[in-house]
Structure 1
Amino acid sequence: MEGGQGESSYINNSQSQSRNLKMMLYVLEETLDKIQLPRHRPGKKPLLTAADLGCSCGHNTLLIADVIVDHMTKLCGTGSLGIGVPEGVANKRSPAYNKGKVFVHGASEETGAAYRRQFRSNMMRFLHCRATELKTGGAIFIVSLGRLSSTRGPTDQGYIYEVYGGMFDDSWRDLIKEGMVDGEKMDSFNVPLYAPTVEEFKEVVDTDGSFKINQLELVMASPPVVDDPADCGMAGRMVANYVRTLLGPLIDTHIGWVMADELFIRMQRHAEIRAEELVDEMCFPHILCSLSLA
């Protein structure tokens, strides 16, 4: 495959392959259903290996990998991906039910608490796994999305997440108003993303105890480069493509790629309206962390 981001690169000339793959996913899922799952042994986690022998570079590879992980996770009965959609946020009977939203920003306190618990659980599991892989003297370097310590709590993810989350919520509501999807589809989807503060991150590292902190800080990422900041259409496409790069496979699986296309068309429209604001303010806080094995 031709690498890179150029005009003749595979990543910029593989849309038809992507559509073809999505049409064939039902056969992949049927194949996965026939796999004999490993027997559960007390104290040991089942190990399942998947190999893509001829994989392309770029989004198409991630699409297949995501379908395999998602499908097999459901078969194993865990109910969520490794990153985890928090428990209760899609359950109508739960106080954490995130009705009418797909993101934690601006949600109820119960929803925010569920997201924070999921972050702690995921991060502690991640640290534990890395600790078992490292030899004495080993270290890891982590960069992850974060939020300012001045926010009011888990449901206040900060200005940039408010903007993105708001446009994303509005795009879902557009589809509902137009009769293209029902409200249940929105209520049963939640973005598995939580941006912790430095303090929350440190608390998890200290509680796990596997690592000592060498350096931990919050840095502001640079805004994305837009060839013509005055071109609202260009800025809108950039924003929609950015979100789709992160969440596309999850949304395709949830509502199908045809409706996903419609969703991101509306995301682009909302972004075009706020293009100038987005180009100037689209800087995401990141947690920068260096850890050594304790």
Structure 2
Amino acid sequence: MDSFSATTERQLLLHMNGGKGERSYANNSLLQKKLMLKAKPILEETIMKLYHDSSPSCMKVADLGCSVGPNSLLVISNIINIVDTTCTILNCEPPTFQFYLNDLFGNDFNTIFKSLPDFHTRLVEDKGHKFGSCFINATPGSFYGRLFPSNSIDLFHSSNSLHWLSQDPLLGLTKEAESLYKGHCHIVSTSPPEVYKAYLKQFQQDFKLFLKSRSEELVPGGAMLLVVLGNHETPRRTGWELISLILNDMFLEGLIEEEKLNSFNIPVYEPTVEEIRHVIQEEGSFFVQRLEILILPWVEGINEAGDDSFLDGNIKAGLMAKHVRAAMEPLLSTKFGEEVINEVFIRYQKKVVQLMEVEKLECATFMISMTKNA
């Protein structure tokens, strides 16, 4: 399979669990919701600055990597509320809104569309008819490239999406590195340096293209808020590493075919702040207004009740397994077959329980507000 075909296939296969079922992303994305709410003050600051510099009569906003479920519309609600407050403070007329929801072609856009009538009803009840019209469209496609006309978007938002790479980063790995890496599908503690370098190189290429594309699409003075999963300390345990270790164990036990495991790599990279800053400076189109680092335990925020402290380790690990399964199941089941998925996440839950007893399992998130350079 050539690289174009492989990339196209990935864009069709890479999506979260759709629908509204027990294992859907819609019902297992509370951690992502928590991160969006944590970033809301920075979003407010970004929009306030945007409005001080210009007051668009039609505010065009794109949410990149919108996925599916209530979080897709939470972004829209937050932005409308912030703009409403900002217009009141600045004593200006509220704009018409044009929102573009973007994700890859396999995303479950239909579930989002079905929730729009209720969303619009609540919006009118909350804001009244005097508030500007709100139009919502889907824009499928990879954000590693152009999606919109030049100088057409006022604000880009992207949360929990930019850790996904455009392609398998290890396609060009040397035979020697392949032999050392054999049996794994992501960076693990025993990975040779070439593996780290290949993942970093792919991230740098992708993020640079992302920034270039957005700078061409933003209006002069346009802004962007990114919420990015990152790596604050090295070495640090990641959920992707756990999946790699589990699949390796299952291969050694004869439950997974060697050929399938050796031809699969999880296309995810969690960059450091320095790596992000380096690409932004090198690409040159944006000025970083604000960058904050948020450190959270793996299991914080994934319980619907909101308080995780009273849950025992096994229940916390079970919630974490469901959370990861909602994101990874389509990719894993396509590669290894649906019959092994239950076993993968039973083992994932057990491994998280074991690790919580001996390690501090945390994840880092970077919240970055940027404006387009003049």
**What TM-score results when the alignment is normalised by the length of structure 1?**
0.64
Runs (5+) with no aligned partner, structure 1: 1-9, 16-48, 59-67, 71-80
1:179 matches 2:263: no
Deviations 1:47-100 (Å, cap 9, x if unpaired)?
A: xx9698982259xxxxxxxxx989xxxxxxxxxx853220436x6736366322
Matched with 1:135 is: 219
Q: 1:137 is paired with a residue of what secondary structure?
A: strand
Matched to 1:235, the amino acid is K
RMSD, aligned CA: 3.3
> Is 1:145 equivalent to 2:220 in the alignment?
no
Counterpart-to-counterpart distance in 2, 1:53 and 1:219: 29
- Aligned counterparts of 1:123 and 1:190: Cα–Cα separation in 2: 19
Report the structure, 1 or 2, having the larger strand content.
Answer: 2
Query: What is the aligned counterpart of 2:345 among 254, 264, 267?
Result: 264
Structure 2's unaligned 5+ residue stretches are 1-18, 25-103, 114-139, 143-163
The residue number in structure 2 matching 1:95 is 177
Instruction: Establish whether residue 167 from structure 1 lines up as the match of residue 221 from structure 2.
Output: no
**Secondary structure, in 3 states, of the residue corresponding to 2:344?**
helix
Which letter maps to 1:224?
A: E
Paired amino acid for 2:364: P
Q: Against the structure 1 CA distance between its residues 50 and 268, is the aligned structure 2 distance closer, same or farther, given a 3 Å change threshold?
A: closer
Q: Residues 108 and 124 from structure 1, CA distance in 2 versus in 1: closer, same or farther, beyond 3 angstroms?
A: same
Range 138-147 or range 253-262, more displaced:
253-262
The 2-side partners of 1:291 and 1:96 are apart by 38
Matched, 1:224 2:306: no
The alpha carbon displacement at 1:195 in A equals 1.5
Q: Match for residue 85 of structure 1?
A: 168
Count of residues in correspondence between the two structures: 221
Mapping of residues 1-294 of structure 1, within 5 Å: 11-12=20-21, 55-57=110-112, 83-88=166-171, 93=175, 95=177, 98-106=181-189, 107-148=191-232, 151=234, 156=235, 158=236, 160-161=237-238, 164-221=239-296, 223-225=299-301, 227=308, 231-276=312-357, 281-294=360-373
Q: How far apart are the structure 2 equivalents of 1:50 and 1:121? A: 22
1:230-283 deviations in Å (ceiling 9; x for gaps): 5343123122112212322211221122222221122122223334457xx343
Q: 1:84 to 1:94 in 2, by over 3 A?
A: farther
Distance 1:183 1:210, change over 3 A: same
**Cα distance per residue 1:131-185 (max 9 Å; x no partner):** 121100101011101112x53xxxx4x2x32xx3453233112322332212232
Q: Is the 8 A contact 2:165 2:202 kept in 1?
A: no
Q: Which moved more, 1:192-201 or 1:137-146?
A: 192-201
Distance in 2 of aligned mates of 1:133 and 1:232: 46
Asked whether the 8 Å contact 2:23–2:322 carries over to 1, the reply is no
2: distance between equivalents of 1:86 and 1:94?
Answer: 16
* Residue in structure 2 matched with residue 4 of structure 1 by the alignment: none
- CA distance change for structure 1 residues 273 and 230 in 2, over 3 Å: closer, same or farther? farther
Distance 1:135 1:166, change over 3 A: closer
Whichever residue aligns with residue 292 of structure 1, its letter is T
Tell me, in whole angstroms, the C-alpha distance in 1 between the residues paired with 2:309 and 2:367: 30
Confirm or deny: 8 A CA contact 1:230 1:276 kept in the other structure: no
Alignment TM-score, normalising by the size of structure 2: 0.52
**Alpha-carbon spacing, 1:174–1:143, altered in 2? closer, same or farther (3 Å):** same
Shift of 1:284: 1.0
Whole-angstrom distance in 2 between the partners of 1:274 and 1:54: 36
2:165, 2:203 within 8 Å by CA — same for their partners in 1?
no
Distance 2:245 2:288 in 1: 40
CA distance in 1, matches of 2:22, 2:192: 43
Instruction: Name the aligned partner's letter for residue 290 of structure 1.
Output: S
CA contact (8 A) 1:198 1:217 kept: no
Distance 1:53 1:88 in 2: 29
Change (3 A) 1:52 1:115: closer
Output the amino acid matched with 2:110. C
Alignment-mate amino acid for residue 369 of structure 2: S
CA gap of 1:287–1:94, structure 2 versus 1, over 3 A, is: farther
Helix, strand or coil: the match of 2:111?
A: coil
